[in-house]
């Protein structure tokens, strides 16, 4: 009985799960970055540890019972906000370091036992995300805004003069209809020719 337990323990140590990390890919997101780590067998949640070092802006993932080709993994194409990758094979675990150009506030691991991949979601502080969204917002020209409002006002005024005169049961003169169309035409000229020359 004891011999069987010893043999089972030795077999577990010798033939235990040993993941080979084969590939890393990086996908920037608005609120952080997604890192996909592929291996030749599923990575279990108990194998993974991660932390962010604020003093040097490196995010580290340690995958226990894993190994990989250091040179190949470090040649992974980096995308902003990651500027560098470091791979350390300790013999019993694989440590992957990612140099960040933005601080990491939070991170999560996503496992899929059907696939040999580990997804790591790194999230930036909310203030960084809002600042990034602010710089991405399209700038609307104040001149274009004024042009649109003036020409729209002329269209509305001209159309309301024409419609009110047409709907009036006893029209005392038809001079208001040409004035309405003239106002609409002035709006068209202002929008397409007068402001177009200024730009």
Q: What is the pTM of this model?
A: 0.57
Instruction: Tell me 115's DSSP state.
Output: T
**CA 153/CA 157 separation, integer angstroms:** 6
Give residue 38's pLDDT: 92
Range 16-128 classified under CATH 3.90.1260.10: no
**CA 12/CA 103 separation, integer angstroms:** 40
DSSP assignment of 45-84 equals: GGGEEEEEETTTTEEEEEEETEEE-HHHHHTSPP-TTEEE
**CA 72/CA 22 separation, integer angstroms:** 9
Radius of gyration from C-alpha coordinates of the chain: 33
Q: What is the mean pLDDT of each run of 10 residues along the chain (199 residues)?
A: 47 57 90 91 89 94 92 89 92 93 90 82 77 54 61 80 72 70 81 63
Specify the length of the chain in residues: 199
Under 8 Å CB-to-CB from 73, ≥6 apart: which residues? Answer: 21, 24, 85, 87, 96
pLDDT tens readout for residues 37-49: 999 988 888 899 9
């Amino acid at each position: 009985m004891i011999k069987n337990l010893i043999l089972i323990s030795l077999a577990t140590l010798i033939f235990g799960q040993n993941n080979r990390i084969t590939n890393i890919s990086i996908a920037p997101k608005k609120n952080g970055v997604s890192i996909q780590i592929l291996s030749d067998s599923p990575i279990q949640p108990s194998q993974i540890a991660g932390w962010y070092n604020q003093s040097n802006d490196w995010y580290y993932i340690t995958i226990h019972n894993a190994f990989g080709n250091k040179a190949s993994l470090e040649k992974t194409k980096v995308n902003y906000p990651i500027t560098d990758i470091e791979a350390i094979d300790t013999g019993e675990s694989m440590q992957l370091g990612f140099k960040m150009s933005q601080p990491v506030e939070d991170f999560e691991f996503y496992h899929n036992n059907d696939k040999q991949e580990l997804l790591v979601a790194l999230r930036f502080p909310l203030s960084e995300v809002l600042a990034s969204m602010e710089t991405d917002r399209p700038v609307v020209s104040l001149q274009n805004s004024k042009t649109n409002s003036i020409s729209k006002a002329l269209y509305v005024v001209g159309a309301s003069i024409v419609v009110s005169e047409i709907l009036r049961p006893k029209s005392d003169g038809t001079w208001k209809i040409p004035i309405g169309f003239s106002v609409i035409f002035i709006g068209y000229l202002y929008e397409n020719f007068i402001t177009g020359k200024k730009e």
